[in-house]
Structure 1
């Protein structure tokens, strides 16, 4: 029987930085200068210097101008061009945070945890607008159908606090609002609450990754995720309290324990007795508490790429751009796709024993030879009977 494990992470994050002073937004030069300063601030605070060149992208949600990063389009920076709300907004998707971690560790050779940038963000006055915290229960045999049945039978509910209390005490009461994706026989996702106020998602993370043809790097198919959204004032409060309580000890266990505990405390998914009274956290939340107490954490980047292969491809893109351009010009776009496919096949079959980059470097002249009479691409010419051998040492 496998040991029960827990993974805790920040899965989405967005924040706002206000401009220091108002100016004429119709003056594009002033706006561009102010925007550039904010971009530099975000790069410094969130350690984004590993993400490559800044490139324009589509602005969303009413913003008028936006940029992202060449090596990570899933992190974007937007600017508001209205006189009444002059600020910059940065958005990290879950994929963006994972790619940031991969590139940072690849290029700087040291471990990266996004939460450590929150100290600098708080100091710089960057105000979070959203922070999603996820807890994954791994090999814990969590059954969402069982959780759904307990909800239907009024044995589980999310408890909320009545903000209209008399000031002497805050009253908690069960909120039975929930929705599901799937059927009663096979629950894919359970939602507690609704946007824009409070939302907790409970779903099968392994099934999601499998649908996307991605792997976890773990020897398991049992990963159940509880992911809660902290928005607006809740996000601001979470970051502020997190910084205050963990800056003395920002170790991994302390930081992720705080974030997971904040998730449990905010959503309060609780078991109920026959009269509907709260008798403690639901058994799934109790399991999270138990694993937090044991410090049996597992910190992984799901969908993790092969760092050696990625490093080879990254340097190929930077160092051999002219080679790819030549292939495209000589043989056409279809040939370029075939070339990348060929390189991938060679790497997977372990023919390339010293890295993709070395393979291309050692064979670039051979790869660019002209078509033979049969019309086979030069890089495919050793697939059948011929005397061409590649340098793979």
Structure 2
């Protein structure tokens, strides 16, 4: 049976710190507010403060333990409070967070969460990865790549212009392509297509048992950062529905449409 699913795979949220005159060892009020919003202390058995961060952040508060798996992390820099707090949900960290919420009968509504981040905290999304899963559609990354190479398929960008071959890369061998990349990882919008079934089996992933039940599983995943991520979050925060997933799919289709090249059929 064919299945399709649209989801937020991972997400990073930035919340400004209002008090710019904190003492060296003082935590901003927003840290407590974010903790309360996500119920981190309720869900996770451990909380660890570390002098470690990324992207210029020097302190982090990680929720969880090795027994629980991937951690969810809040990062900040007491010497650069203008950078705000960064709440980082990796793909596996987000999945763990949602699983723990389900066990505690806590409903997770990403529309309302994003709305609060934008409208109450005056923050924004700094990165969001949107995934479209096509399960048992008999799609093959190998076949897609072959048709792109012979120009039977083409990708169109947001201006409905064909994306040139030099903007499309792949990982794998001539016999088996596992991942296709469209665009640059350094840009604000970047697409990858990959064999999710193979990836889960090879890495013993969280969804390996699900992958084993199906013949094929291809994922289209858009990675949006900076201005693109900010704009997606701003739009989500104003939607009149909690069902944000058709809009998320539209974000991918706006930037990348894989179509049959009519010229190749002539």
Instruction: Tell whether the structures are fold-level matches, with TM greater than 0.5.
Output: yes
**1:33–1:213 CA distance, 2 compared to 1 (3 A):** closer
1:44 is the counterpart of 2:33: no
Alignment of 1:1-393 (within 5 A): 3-23=1-21, 27-29=23-25, 32-34=26-28, 37-48=29-40, 49-57=42-50, 58-71=52-65, 73-83=70-80, 85-107=82-104, 109-123=105-119, 124-161=121-158, 171-176=159-164, 177-197=167-187, 198-214=189-205, 215-217=208-210, 219-245=213-239, 248-250=240-242, 254-274=243-263
Give unmatched runs, 5+ long, in structure 2: none
Contact 1:22/1:86 (<8 A) preserved: no
Which structure has more RCO (C-alpha within 8 Å, separation ≥ 6)? 2
Give unmatched runs, 5+ long, in structure 1: 162-170, 277-393
Which protein is bigger by CA-based radius of gyration?
1
TM-score under structure 1 length normalisation: 0.59
The number of residues matched between the two structures is 253
Structure with more of its chain in helix, by fraction? 1
Q: What do you get for the CA RMSD once the two structures are aligned?
A: 2.3
Contact 2:64/2:71 (<8 A) preserved: no
SS of 1:201's equivalent?
A: strand
SS of 2:161's equivalent?
A: strand
Contact 2:17/2:81 (<8 A) preserved: no
TM-score under structure 2 length normalisation: 0.85
Q: Which deviations, in whole Å up to 9, do the C-alpha atoms of 1:331-390 show, x marking residues without a partner?
A: xxxxxxxxxxxxxxxxxxxxxxxxxxxxxxxxxxxxxxxxxxxxxxxxxxxxxxxxxxxx
SS of 1:130's equivalent?
A: strand
Structure with more of its chain in strand, by fraction? 2
CA distance in 2, matches of 1:81, 1:70: 23
